Structure 1
Amino acid sequence: MSPEITNFVGYGASFFVVLSFILKDLRKIRIVNLVGCMLFVIYGIYSNYLWPIIIPNAILCGIQVFHLVKKS
């Protein structure tokens, strides 16, 4: 992936994580935050495996999925 696209993925991830703090509905917060975390994982992988970004966001993805499935 080109560095420009990688940067856009990182900006998109930041956008979705910040957006998740603006929302009030817990289900929407989890979905939007999940998208942001997944984008951060992708960003970390394509930025030469930035493990401090990949690991916590992958864990957060799992937590968000767990709560979304548990509530359904």
Structure 2
Amino acid sequence: MNPEITTYIGYSASVFIVLSFILKDVRKIRVVNMIGCICFVIYGVYNGMLWPVIIPNGLICFIQVYHLLLGKKS
């Protein structure tokens, strides 16, 4: 992948993560944060398998999916 595109994916991931701290609705927070985590995983993979980026963001993504699909409905 083009290194410039990879950089933009990293920046967009940061924007989504920060945006998730601004929102108030928990479901929206989880969705936006999950998008940011997916972007960080893609960024980590295409930047030479950056495991310290891939592992925590992959885990957080699974946690968000768990809470969105199986979590307590309120």
- Whether the TM-score (by the shorter chain) exceeds 0.5 is yes
**Which runs of 5 or more residues in structure 1 are unaligned?**
none
% same residue: 62
**Which runs of 5 or more residues in structure 2 are unaligned?**
none
Whether 2:67 is the aligned partner of 1:67: answer: yes
Q: How does 1:3-22 map to 2 (within 5 A)?
A: 3-22=3-22
Whether 2:37 is the aligned partner of 1:37: answer: yes
Q: 1:70 deviation in Å?
A: 1.4
Structural RMSD (CA)? 0.8
Name segments (4+ residues, structure 1) moved above 6 Å. none
Measure, in 2, the Cα distance between the counterparts of 1:12 and 1:47. 15
What is the aligned partner in structure 2 of residue 24 from structure 1? Answer: 24
What is the aligned partner in structure 2 of residue 49 from structure 1? Answer: 49
SS at 2:24's partner residue? coil
Q: How many residues align?
A: 72
Measure, in 2, the Cα distance between the counterparts of 1:12 and 1:60. 17
